[in-house]
Amino acid sequence: MSIFAGWINQNIQQPPKGESERYEDDKSNSGSEMDTNGTEDEEIKQLILWSNAEKKHPWYDPPPKVKVTMKKGVCHLNIELTLGVPPDGAYELFINPTDVPFFVIDNSGRQLLKNKSRKVLKKDGPRQIVKVVKAVAWDFLWWSGALPFSLVVEENKKDLEAKYKKEEMMFMKVFKGSWKIEPLYVDSARLCKQMKPKNREEYKKCSGGQGKIASKVTMDQYFQPCFPFNLPPLSWYIRKITIKTTKTLLKMLQERATILRELPY
């Protein structure tokens, strides 16, 4: 298992016993075959750098940038955000293979987005196709509940990217997207002088191994309500709620990254 995932589990919260059993197959497939030669050592070093730096100069993630466009009834969200954790850790946060409850919205433990199950359908080295079943919380006047849906996700651990599309989702005719994580060499201006590192090896060399690596995430998400929810004013309401929920989830991921940086390592 990735050091980052293990660190999350030990320091935050283990998955509920009843749900963790449904993740055993996925964890054994995704974790045991990871490349651990050198990768985990670098990951540990980055976690130590971030933890030590957070005590002196706390990192601040700006709010996600979200650009919304419409074309032929399909809403497109183009999103950019940063996470003050190394890319491998950001990848773990996004796929959340160990079902840590990131998105708790009140003291009762209710989650805005809950992972219900996760099953690997096909695996080829660092690439795999996974079926995930989730539930998103909703509130309307004095009613509330959770809307279940399922996605098929193509995960690529090597390139730190994923593509997803709906398998089953109420109210939605189209729901698909992708995301990719790239490294941000956040200490290069301070430690590398005039040099702009092109890769991790150059950054490690010019920073003397003391440069922190953050994550830049770019996302594209497309959705279109099905009939009759694609007609105003229902379409306006669904679009507003979907965009708001997406922004909230991303902000909560950034808050989770902050908690991880503040933990002792």
CA 165 – CA 163 distance, rounded (Å): 7
Contact 72, 65 (CB under 8 A): no
pLDDT tops 50 at residue 40: yes
CA 28 – CA 234 distance, rounded (Å): 43
The residue-averaged pLDDT of 13-21 equals 42
The residue-averaged pLDDT of 33-59 equals 80
CA 251 – CA 256 distance, rounded (Å): 9
Domains of the chain: 3-262 (3.30.530.20)
Contact 153, 164 (CB under 8 A): yes
Supply 118's token pair. Answer: 């996760």
Q: Residue 129: beta bridge partners?
A: 122, 154
Helix, strand, or coil here: 117?
A: strand
How would DSSP label each residue in 152-193? EEEEETTTTEEEEEEEEETTEEEEEEEEEEEEEETTHHHHST
Torsion angle in degrees (nearest 10) through CA of 6, 31, 115, 238: 110
Q: Residue 145: beta bridge partners?
A: 138
Distances, alpha carbon 192 to alpha carbons 50, 208, 209, 223, in Å = 18, 9, 11, 43
**Distinct helix (H) and strand (E) counts, the chain:** 8, 8
* pLDDT digits 0-9 by tens, 170-228: 999 999 999 999 999 999 999 998 889 999 999 999 999 999 999 999 999 999 999 99
Burial 244-254 (b: 16+ CB within 10 A, else e): eebbeebebbb
Helix, strand, or coil here: 187?
A: coil
- pLDDT tier at 142 (50, 70, 90 boundaries)? low
Helix, strand, or coil here: 237?
A: helix
CA 215 – CA 250 distance, rounded (Å): 13
pLDDT tops 70 at residue 31: no
Supply 221's token pair. Answer: 């998400």
The pLDDT mean for the chain works out to: 86
- pLDDT tier at 29 (50, 70, 90 boundaries)? very low
Q: Return the pLDDT at 100.
A: 80
**74-83/161-169 β-pairing:** unpaired
Contact 138, 59 (CB under 8 A): no
